[in-house]
Structure formats: structure tokens, C-alpha cells
């Protein structure tokens, strides 16, 4: 049985980020009876009489909401970040709005999740490798050849083959959804049911010998009839799911420990996976790509190295990023040529920008800032693609995807990038 510390509410969590637990207990003890004169000058606590009824608590509500937001901003300045890609200020504000649609949506998703059993990579019935612990996914844009039934599959770029649902990609997506939903619902409500399911899900996918996933993607995005049934370097795109999973682990563990043994096991698993990413044949090939798969690779492995505490490895990735990623992928006019070659040119341009933004914010939260020239280059890519969002007919490239959905993603990525105060300061 893995030991955990006592659960805390989100408010207590943010207060911990602003000052030490010891100072919090000492101040609370001295202020309980309002006898200490220092309490009157304490900036975070309203000078109110002791709470004795629901009516006397109501005036505190706006103070508590303001305190939550204040402590969040203070903690980002004074302490190690809790999450690196998620903006927790939005969740912190949402925690005081249980009647809002956003709050209900998060809790509703989590309620649906905990009614089911945790998903496992070993749930598969169609296993191509002979080992159910291996992650196996079908390359989604490859189809049976009508001219050669039973022969190697052929490419149909941008067109999803429904056969991919028979393999592990949907399970990996469900894993991300389960962890994300339960972590956010637990943060908002403190309900231990979400915490319990969250920990069970981690154990099932990453830790338990009977169900855990092998720490590699050797059979990721395999193409029937090609490469002897093994995966291919394009499968590195699937690794991007791990970024939200890492964020969810950080969030839950900050509110209530998931246990030292469990955390150690998770770090070991991700260390093994990162080693495979760097040293495997597929990983080495992926590092030479000039498209969004390379951005997926860099962001994911950098995030893993934050999780496992490998500073020198992060420094190496960060140092190489401008020359090998930004300047080689974005042209002078802001075009991303590798994306524009695709049948979903707008979609892949948006996807690349999402990953550029993730890397910028991830490394910035880790205390590193890309050169201004890089940030201007990324901004130029936004400047090129954004005008087409409201004028699809003017887009001179192919796009067979959902234009409206991609437009929403573009707007969100642009807001995260240009709306980030630290990025704004660098771009001045």
C-alpha cells in the first residue's frame, strides 16, 4: 500500500505556495483568537471576528477568491511552478464558481470517468507484436491497396483509416482524458474519489506488472506490409499525449501526495521511455525531421526531463532548438513549408504553432527564455496564417480537415503565446 499525506483543499494548496507550512500554522494559531497585534497587519487575512455560523462565513467568500488568485501569482514568483503548460490561474478562479458551465463540465467528465475501470494497454484483443504490454498503433493515414488486396498498405494523407480504432491509440487518448479529468476535478472539489481513481489509473498503465505498458514505442504507427510490422519514426507524434499526463501528475501530487513509491516508479518508467526516445532507431530518425513530429519529440522529452530532474539534458535540447527547429521550419515570410505540403495544410500549420508555443512556455516556466529572434519568428508564423482563419477561400493550399475546429485551436494558441505577459515583455 502506497502512503499519502492528508488531502488539502485548493485554497490551502495555494497558501502553501505563498509561504511555508510552518509559518501558516504559526500565524493561524496566533490569529485564531485575534490576540496578537501582528495579526491586524497580516496582509492576506481579513480582520474579521471568529466564524461561528454560516452567515458569518458568507462575507469571507470574496476574500477567499481573491486570496486564491493572489497566492497563485505569488507562488509563481516565489516557488517552483506546479504545472508548466497548464494555466492554473483559470482553475483557481473556477474553483470559486461551482455553478459555472466550465466547472460542471470538468466535474461531469470526471464523474463519467470514475464509473468505469481504468484503461490498460493490455486491454487489446488485436495484438501484432505477441506482447500485449507493447503499445501498438496503426499509422492513421495508411489504407489497404485496392489494386493489391493483402499487400502493403498505401498512403492517403489526411484521411483517417477507421482500422486505427482497433489498436492502442484510442486507449492512450482515453488514458490522457482519465488523468486530466480526474486531476482537475480533484483540484476543484477535493473529492477523494477522483484522487483514488487517478492513482489506480497510474498504477494500471505504468506500474502494475500485469498491466503496465512497456516503456517504448517500437510498434507505434506501424504500417501493415511494411517494415516487418514494426513501428515508424512518425509515431513520435503519439508521445505528445504524455505532456498532459505529466501536468496532471504534478497537479495532483501538489495538492495531495501520490506517494513516494508511486512517484519513484513513475519517474523510472519515464526515464526508461526517454532513454528509448534518444537511443532507438526511430528516435534518432525523428530527431532529424523538419516537421511537427520533431516539435512533438522536443517538447515531450524536455517535459520528461523536467519530471525526472535531468537538467543537463534539458539544457542541451534548449540550446539546439533555435537553429535546428525554429529557423529551419519557419521561413522569412512566416510560412511553415513542411505543413503546407500536406492535404491538411492549415491544420498542420496550426499544430506546429501549438507545439512551438508549448515549447516556449514549457522552457520559460523552467527558467529559460528563447532568443528574441526565435520569438519574433514564431510570431511571424502566426501573422502569416491568422488572416486566413476568417477567409478560407483565400487560403492557397489544401485543407480537407475541419476548418472551424482548427480556427479555434489557432486562436487559443495565439492567445497563449501573445497573451503571455513574459512573452509580451520579450517581444517589446
- Cβ-based neighbours of 245, under 8 Å, separated by 6 or more: 175, 176, 179, 180
Please give the average per-residue pLDDT across 386-395, as a whole number: 96
More confident residue, 56 or 285: 285
Written as nine digits, the cell of 128 is 501484432
pLDDT tens digit string along 161-220? 999 999 999 999 999 999 999 999 999 999 999 999 999 999 999 999 999 999 999 999
Q: What is the pLDDT of residue 25?
A: 45
**Residue 136 belongs to what H/E stretch?**
strand 136-138
pLDDT tens digit string along 63-96? 665 565 555 544 443 456 799 999 888 898 998 8
pLDDT tens digit string along 328-367? 999 999 999 999 999 999 999 999 999 999 999 999 999 9
What is the rounded CA–CA span in Å between residue 17 and residue 13? Answer: 7
| pLDDT band of 9, cuts 50, 70, 90 | low
**Does the structure show a pLDDT above 60 at 2?**
no
Please give the average per-residue pLDDT across 146-174, as a whole number: 95
Q: How many CB atoms lie within 10 A of CB 26?
A: 11
What are the residue ranges of helices labelled H in 212-333? Answer: 241-255, 260-279, 281-286, 292-308, 311-321, 327-329
Query: Which residue bears the cell 519517474?
Result: 267
Torsion angle defined by CA atoms of residues 38, 44, 46 and 50, in that order, rounded to the nearest 10 degrees: -70
Q: What is the pLDDT of residue 66?
A: 58
What is the rounded CA–CA span in Å between residue 119 and residue 317? Answer: 32
- Give the residue from 314, 247, 244 showing the smallest Cα distance to 274: 314
Q: What is the pLDDT of residue 42?
A: 37
What is the rounded CA–CA span in Å between residue 149 and residue 76? Answer: 58
Q: What is the pLDDT of residue 16?
A: 47
What are the residue ranges of helices labelled H in 79-189? Answer: 88-94, 101-114, 169-189
Q: Over the chain, what is the mean pLDDT?
A: 86
Written as nine digits, the cell of 68 is 486564491
| pLDDT band of 428, cuts 50, 70, 90 | confident
Q: What is the pLDDT of residue 406?
A: 98
Written as nine digits, the cell of 202 is 497510474
User: Whole-prediction pTM value?
Assistant: 0.82
Burial class (CB in 10 A: 0-12, 13-18, 19+), 428: exposed
- Report whether 342 contacts 237 (CB < 8 A): no
pLDDT tens digit string along 273-283? 999 999 999 99
pLDDT tens digit string along 252-301? 999 999 999 999 999 999 999 999 999 999 999 888 888 888 899 999 99
Q: How many CB atoms lie within 10 A of CB 367?
A: 9
More confident residue, 52 or 277: 277
**Does the structure show a pLDDT above 60 at 398?**
yes
**Does the structure show a pLDDT above 80 at 15?**
no
What is the rounded CA–CA span in Å between residue 17 and residue 190? Answer: 17
**Does the structure show a pLDDT above 90 at 405?**
yes
Looking at the DSSP assignment, which residues form a beta bridge with residue 138? Answer: 222
Q: How many CB atoms lie within 10 A of CB 162?
A: 9
What is the rounded CA–CA span in Å between residue 246 and residue 33? Answer: 42
How many percent of the chain have pLDDT more than 70? 81
| pLDDT band of 17, cuts 50, 70, 90 | very low
**Does the structure show a pLDDT above 50 at 312?**
yes
DSSP assignment of 163-220 equals: GGGGSSHHHHHHHHHHHHHHHHHHHHH--HHHHHHHHHHHIIIII-TTTPPPS--TEE
Looking at the DSSP assignment, which residues form a beta bridge with residue 344? Answer: 399
Please give the average per-residue pLDDT across 376-380, as a whole number: 97
DSSP assignment of 366-416 equals: TT----HHHHHHHHHHHHHHGGGTT-GGG--S-B-S-HHHHHHHHHHHHHH
Phi then psi for residue 154, to 5 deg, are -120, 155
Q: Is 57 helix (H, G, I), strand (E, B) or coil?
A: helix
Q: What is the pLDDT of residue 26?
A: 45
- Give the residue from 323, 302, 307, 421 showing the smallest Cα distance to 370: 323
| pLDDT band of 20, cuts 50, 70, 90 | very low
Amino acid at each position: 500500500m502506497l502512503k499519502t499525506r492528508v488531502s488539502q483543499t485548493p485554497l490551502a494548496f495555494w497558501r502553501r505556495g505563498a509561504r511555508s507550512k510552518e509559518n501558516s500554522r504559526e500565524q493561524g494559531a496566533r490569529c485564531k483568537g485575534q490576540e496578537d497585534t501582528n495579526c491586524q497587519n497580516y496582509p492576506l487575512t481579513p480582520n474579521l471576528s471568529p466564524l461561528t455560523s454560516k452567515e458569518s462565513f458568507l462575507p469571507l467568500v470574496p476574500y477567499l477568491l481573491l486570496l486564491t488568485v493572489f497566492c497563485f501569482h505569488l507562488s509563481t514568483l516565489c516557488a517552483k511552478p506546479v504545472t508548466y503548460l497548464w494555466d492554473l490561474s483559470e482553475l483557481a478562479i473556477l474553483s470559486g464558481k461551482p455553478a459555472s458551465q466550465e466547472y460542471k463540465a470538468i466535474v461531469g467528465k470526471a464523474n463519467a470517468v470514475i464509473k468505469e475501470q481504468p484503461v490498460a494497454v493490455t486491454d487489446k484483443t488485436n495484438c501484432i507484436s505477441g506482447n500485449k504490454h507493447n503499445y501498438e498503433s496503426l499509422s492513421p493515414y495508411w489504407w489497404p491497396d485496392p489494386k493489391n488486396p493483402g499487400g502493403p498498405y498505401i498512403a492517403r494523407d489526411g484521411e483517417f483509416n477507421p482500422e486505427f480504432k482497433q489498436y492502442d491509440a484510442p486507449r492512450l487518448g482515453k488514458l490522457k482524458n482519465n488523468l486530466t479529468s480526474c486531476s482537475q476535478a480533484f483540484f476543484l472539489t477535493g473529492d477523494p474519489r477522483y484522487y483514488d481513481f487517478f492513482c489506480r489509473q497510474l498504477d494500471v498503465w505504468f506500474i502494475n506488472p500485469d498491466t503496465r505498458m512497456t516503456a517504448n514505442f517500437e510498434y507505434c504507427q506501424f504500417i501493415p506490409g511494411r517494415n516487418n510490422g514494426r513501428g515508424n519514426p512518425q509515431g513520435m507524434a503519439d508521445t505528445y499525449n504524455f505532456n498532459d499526463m505529466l501536468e496532471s501528475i504534478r497537479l495532483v501530487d501538489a495538492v495531495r501526495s501520490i506517494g513516494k513509491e508511486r512517484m519513484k516508479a513513475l519517474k523510472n518508467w519515464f526515464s526508461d521511455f526517454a532513454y528509448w526516445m534518444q537511443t532507438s532507431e526511430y528516435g534518432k530518425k525523428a530527431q532529424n525531421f523538419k516537421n511537427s513530429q520533431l516539435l512533438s519529440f522536443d517538447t515531450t522529452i524536455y517535459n520528461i526531463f523536467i519530471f525526472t530532474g535531468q537538467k543537463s539534458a534539458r539544457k542541451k535540447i534548449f540550446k539546439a532548438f533555435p537553429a535546428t527547429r525554429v529557423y529551419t521550419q519557419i521561413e522569412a515570410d512566416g510560412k511553415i513549408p513542411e505543413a503546407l505540403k500536406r492535404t491538411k495544410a492549415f491544420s498542420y500549420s496550426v499544430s506546429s504553432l501549438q507545439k512551438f508555443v508549448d515549447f516556449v512556455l514549457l522552457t520559460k516556466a523552467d527558467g529559460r527564455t528563447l532568443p528574441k529572434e526565435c520569438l519574433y519568428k514564431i510570431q511571424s508564423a502566426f501573422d502569416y496564417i491568422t488572416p486566413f482563419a476568417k477567409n478560407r477561400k483565400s487560403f492557397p493550399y489544401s485543407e480537407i480537415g475541419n476548418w472551424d475546429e482548427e480556427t479555434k485551436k489557432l486562436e487559443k494558441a495565439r492567445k497563449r503565446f501573445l497573451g503571455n505577459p513574459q512573452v509580451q515583455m520579450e517581444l517589446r
